[in-house]
């Protein structure tokens, strides 16, 4: 599909366990011509786009816990152009769903645009979403305009996913109903540390420098962990800067204040 000038004709899946919010977002998108499919949690979303033959460990754990949920799942699927999802849901959260997509465990393309709806309390999980190449973030309470802007921008992005292995190593906290408010920052930091080796580019002719995060450029490499002002890890060292990452950081600055400067490695022209 070529880059759209509006949302008409796009099929968008909205995933949120809060029916009111899900319906509000869906109605706004329908109002500008998009077709909307709703899902109540990450697993329901995967049921819509279809599971592949290999389900992976997170789905295997869920299957062992809730085998009834797998009846008929994966036998059919619907093609969607973009996904808008919340993070904190049960029995499968938005990060687990995104990991499954980026790891090639579904019938959806690995590069499908995914927009995250995020609250300030989700700061400890933001780094995980960035590592999973979320295309953008919308602050809660969400506005219809921000949703539409993020979807259009995501559909225009030139995005190539990392190798499957880079996503498979990520540790996604299970945010089931019993621990939805648990502080998982330590899990996020452990998870992000595991992707350094898969993300580091062997660049030559570089110089190290510090720049304002707003001055990051495509092709830069993060040299030192980049964090929020409160100390939450957002982008680990060794990560290559892409247009998707730049867009995500711009969105995140409206959710959680980011550190003013970031140390980078930049090619010398």
Q: Taking all residues of the chain, what is their mean pLDDT, rounded to a whole number?
A: 82
In a domain, 237, yes or no: no
In a domain, 189, yes or no: yes
How does pLDDT run across 83-102, given as a tens digit for each residue? 999 998 888 899 999 999 99
In a domain, 18, yes or no: yes
- The counts of H helices and E strands in the chain are 10, 10
In a domain, 42, yes or no: yes
Q: Is the pTM of the predicted complex or chain greater than 0.85?
A: no
Total tally of structural domains belonging to the chain: 1
Q: Which positions of the chain have pLDDT values less than 50?
A: 74, 176-187, 194-204
- Could you tell me what percent of the chain has a pLDDT over 90? 51
What residues make up the domain containing 126? 11-194
């Amino acid at each position: 599909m070529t880059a759209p000038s509006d949302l008409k004709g796009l099929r968008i899946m909205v995933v949120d366990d809060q029916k009111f919010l899900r319906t509000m977002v869906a109605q706004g998108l329908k109002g500008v011509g998009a077709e909307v499919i709703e899902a109540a949690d990450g697993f329901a979303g995967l049921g819509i786009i279809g599971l592949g033959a290999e389900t992976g460990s997170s789905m295997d754990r869920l299957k062992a816990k809730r085998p009834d949920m797998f009846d008929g799942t994966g036998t059919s699927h619907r093609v969607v152009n973009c996904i808008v999802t919340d993070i904190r849901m049960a029995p499968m959260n938005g990060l687990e769903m995104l990991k499954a997509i980026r790891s090639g465990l579904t019938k959806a393309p690995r590069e499908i645009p995914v927009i995250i709806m995020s609250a300030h309390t989700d700061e400890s999980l933001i780094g995980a979403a960035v590592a999973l190449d979320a295309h953008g973030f919308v602050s809660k309470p969400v506005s219809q305009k921000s949703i539409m802007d993020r979807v259009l921008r995501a559909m225009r992005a030139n995005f190539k996913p990392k190798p499957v292995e880079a996503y498979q190593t990520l540790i996604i906290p299970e945010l089931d109903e019993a621990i939805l408010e648990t502080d998982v920052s330590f899990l996020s930091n452990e998870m992000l540390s595991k992707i350094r080796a898969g993300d580091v580019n062997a660049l030559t002719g570089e110089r190290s420098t510090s720049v304002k995060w707003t001055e990051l450029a495509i092709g830069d490499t993060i040299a030192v962990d980049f964090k929020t002002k409160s100390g939450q890890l957002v982008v680990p060292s060794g990560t290559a800067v892409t247009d998707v990452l730049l867009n995500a950081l711009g969105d995140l600055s409206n959710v959680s204040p980011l550190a003013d400067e970031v140390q980078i490695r930049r090619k010398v022209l």
